[in-house]
């Protein structure tokens, strides 16, 4: 049997890590081990600089002329083109706009308008709530003409049939981190004549996704997690090129018009991804995202995935050695079936996470009993994971006699 890794092993891995050079691009607080990059990624120096430049040099200097002089109008397309290689898409298949929730609505409504005689959307029960709520809202808007089926994972494939016009699934589960087989499920949906929309919120920047090889129809995702775009940074949406001009988002708005500055009364959609724009983009948030995306140019996603698996394997192996902890693994044990975070359950999960945060180990809590720890290879070291589990052991030992803690609004 191989001996468990030691702290010296971790230092050795850090010394040989091809991504170690990227850590300096982040503004990290000494004394903090940040394990919540699946919720809000860390700040890059680049993001801070780009945001400052947009405010002071562009807005502050050139005012409204900046839309042309600094290319503000095309920024949603330029940032989409930067995200495209991370998800196996072409540069003109991805747009940055709005939030993930709004983009979900735009694409699900577009699919609903071209559904023919089909009337069902299939999604997963226990999916991230917004994915289900947006679809339920769409069904209500359409007066019950469509139906949303939220099926458990084990029944997903069998529920996709000739009545299904759209399948909406999250590639990496927000709680358990369990991965779905994007290629196989996409093929299955297509074989049943349905379109598929993937939520890549926990995938983009965590591992390579190949929407093109799978011929997936649509995708959406957050940029404030593994892409480090900043709190509330704009989301992205992907539409396969051959579909782009055949559908229209249910949210038709002026920036998606073929000639927005003609100010015509009648809506005429722009060609390509431009029709998926809605209103004026939140440019300052776009600047923060632009800065964060700048660091991806020379990063190999295979290195990212390899390190993410190694970090989370180290974490799980050390947690398993904390005997009698009351912790149980809620993520798949095999690294190939997991995304880049690890979920554990604990009866006093909220108190546990609060105590960890007080000791500088930041993860998060998801009701009723899940604590999540994310392993972000761009700024996390193996020694950080080592230290985090040491502190976790100490916190658990003290937890039995600690008081119950009142929950904050954001957990
Ligand atoms: C899978 C998934 N989809 C969507 C969202 C939220 O999207 P929005 O940016 O609209 O809040 C999250 C947020 O954590 C998520 O985990």
The reply to whether 13 and 140 lie within a common domain is no
Last residue of a domain, one of 240, 262, 296: 296
The total number of structural domains that make up the chain: 2
Nearest CA to ligand 1 atom 14: 39
The reply to whether 238 and 304 lie within a common domain is no
Last residue of a domain, one of 230, 264, 296: 296
Nearest CA to ligand 1 atom 5: 100
Residue 286 lies in a domain: yes
The reply to whether 89 and 138 lie within a common domain is yes
The reply to whether 226 and 363 lie within a common domain is no
Q: How many CB atoms are located within 10 Å of the residue 279 CB?
A: 12
Last residue of a domain, one of 296, 320, 337: 296
- Judging by DSSP bridges, how do beta strands 328-329 and 370-374 pair with one another? unpaired
Q: How far apart are CA 296 and CA 113, in angstroms?
A: 37
Residue 405 lies in a domain: no
* Nearest Cα residue to 353 out of 322, 327, 384, 318: 327
- According to DSSP, residue 322 is labeled S
Residue-number span of the structural domain to which 199 is assigned: 73-296
Mutate to test the pocket of ligand 1, among 130, 224, 278, 339 (most ligand atoms within 8 A of CB): 130
Å from CA of 100 to ligand 1 middle: 6
Q: Is 170 in the pocket of ligand 1 (CB under 6 A)?
A: yes
Q: Is 201 in the pocket of ligand 1 (CB under 6 A)?
A: yes
Closest ligand 1 atom number to CA of residue 225:
14
Å from CA of 128 to ligand 1 middle: 7
Residue 243 lies in a domain: yes
Residue with tokens 């850090």: 14
The reply to whether 264 and 323 lie within a common domain is no
What pLDDT, on a 0 to 100 scale, did the predictor assign at position 237? 98
Residue 141 lies in a domain: yes
Instruction: Indicate which CATH number applies to the domain containing 312.
Output: 3.90.1150.10
8 Å CB contact between 341 and 349: no
Q: Helix H segments across 75-178?
A: 75-83, 100-113, 129-141, 156-159
Residue with tokens 């971790």: 10
Residue 406 lies in a domain: no
**Cα first-last separation, the chain:** 39
Angle between helices 301-320 and 382-399 (to 10 degrees): 30
C-alpha torsion sign, points 211, 214, 216, 222: negative
The reply to whether 214 and 155 lie within a common domain is yes
Nearest CA to ligand 1 atom 4: 100
Q: Is 130 in the pocket of ligand 1 (CB under 6 A)?
A: yes
Mutate to test the pocket of ligand 1, among 36, 106, 174, 367 (most ligand atoms within 8 A of CB): 174
The reply to whether 318 and 285 lie within a common domain is no
Query: What are the start-end ranges of the E strands in 305-397?
Result: 328-329, 341-345, 361-362, 364-366, 370-374
8 Å CB contact between 197 and 108: yes
The reply to whether 135 and 175 lie within a common domain is yes
Residue 52 lies in a domain: no
pLDDT in tens, the chain (411 residues): 567 789 999 999 999 999 999 999 999 999 999 999 999 999 999 999 999 999 999 999 999 999 999 999 999 999 999 999 999 999 999 999 999 999 999 999 999 999 999 999 999 999 999 999 999 999 999 999 999 999 999 999 999 999 999 999 999 999 999 999 999 999 999 999 999 999 999 999 999 999 999 999 999 999 999 999 999 999 999 999 999 999 999 999 999 999 999 999 999 999 999 999 999 999 999 999 999 999 999 999 999 999 999 999 999 999 998 867 789 999 999 999 999 999 999 999 999 999 999 999 999 999 999 999 999 999 999 999 999 999 999 999 888 655 556 667 777
Mutate to test the pocket of ligand 1, among 127, 209, 222 (most ligand atoms within 8 A of CB): 222
Identify the helix (H) or strand (E) that includes residue 151: strand 147-151
What pLDDT, on a 0 to 100 scale, did the predictor assign at position 328? 93
Identify the helix (H) or strand (E) that includes residue 122: strand 120-124
The reply to whether 242 and 341 lie within a common domain is no
Å from CA of 339 to ligand 1 middle: 15
The reply to whether 112 and 261 lie within a common domain is yes
Instruction: Indicate which CATH number applies to the domain containing 99.
Output: 3.40.640.10
Residue 55 lies in a domain: no
Residue 86 lies in a domain: yes
Q: Is 331 in the pocket of ligand 1 (CB under 6 A)?
A: no
The reply to whether 247 and 115 lie within a common domain is yes
Q: How far apart are CA 369 and CA 361, in angstroms?
A: 18
The reply to whether 291 and 311 lie within a common domain is no
The 3-state secondary structure of 171-234, one letter per residue: CECCCCCEECCHHHHHHHHHHCCCEEEEECCCCCCCCCCCHHHHCCCEEEECCCCCCCCCCCCC
Q: How many CB atoms are located within 10 Å of the residue 29 CB?
A: 11
């Amino acid at each position: 049997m191989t001996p468990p890794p030691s702290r010296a092993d971790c230092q050795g891995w850090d010394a040989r890590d091809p991504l170690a050079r990227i850590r300096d691009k982040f503004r990290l607080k000494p004394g903090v081990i940040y394990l919540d990059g699946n919720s809000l990624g860390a700040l890059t120096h680049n993001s801070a600089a780009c945001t400052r430049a947009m405010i002071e040099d562009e807005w502050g200097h050139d005012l409204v002329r900046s839309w042309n002089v600094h290319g503000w109008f095309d920024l949603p397309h330029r940032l989409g083109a930067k995200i495209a290689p991370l998800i196996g898409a072409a540069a003109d298949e991805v747009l940055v706009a709005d939030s993930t929730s709004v983009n979900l609505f735009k694409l699900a409504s577009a699919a609903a308008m071209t559904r023919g005689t089909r009337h069902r959307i299939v999604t997963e029960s226990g999916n991230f709530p917004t994915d289900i709520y947006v679809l339920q809202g769409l069904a209500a808007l359409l007066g019950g003409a469509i139906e949303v089926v939220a099926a458990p994972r084990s029944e997903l494939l069998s529920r996709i049939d000739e009545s299904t016009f759209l399948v909406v699934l999250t590639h990496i589960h927000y709680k358990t981190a369990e991965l779905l087989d994007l290629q196989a499920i996409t093929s299955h949906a297509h074989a049943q004549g349905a379109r598929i929309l993937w939520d890549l919120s926990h995938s983009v920047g965590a591992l390579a996704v190949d929407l093109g090889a799978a011929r997936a129809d649509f995708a959406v995702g957050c940029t404030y997690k593994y892409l480090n775009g900043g709190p509330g940074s704009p989301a992205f949406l992907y539409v396969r090129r051959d579909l782009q001009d055949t559908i229209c988002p249910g949210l038709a708005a002026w920036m998606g018009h073929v000639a927005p500055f003609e100010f015509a009364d009648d809506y005429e959609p722009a060609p390509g991804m431009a029709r998926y724009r809605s209103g004026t983009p939140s440019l300052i948030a776009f600047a923060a995202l632009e800065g964060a995306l700048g660091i991806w140019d020379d990063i190999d996603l295979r290195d990212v995935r390899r390190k993410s698996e190694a970090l989370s394997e180290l974490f799980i192996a050390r947690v398993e050695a904390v005997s009698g902890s009351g912790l149980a693994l809620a993520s798949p044990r095999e690294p190939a079936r997991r995304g880049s975070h690890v979920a554990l359950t604990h009866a006093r999960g909220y108190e546990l996470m609060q105590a960890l945060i007080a000791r500088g180990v930041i993860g998060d809590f998801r009701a009723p009993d899940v604590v999540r720890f994310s392993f972000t290879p761009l700024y996390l070291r193996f020694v950080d994971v080592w230290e985090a589990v040491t502190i976790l052991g100490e916190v658990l030992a003290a937890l039995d006699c600690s008081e119950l803690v009142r929950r904050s609004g954001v957990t």
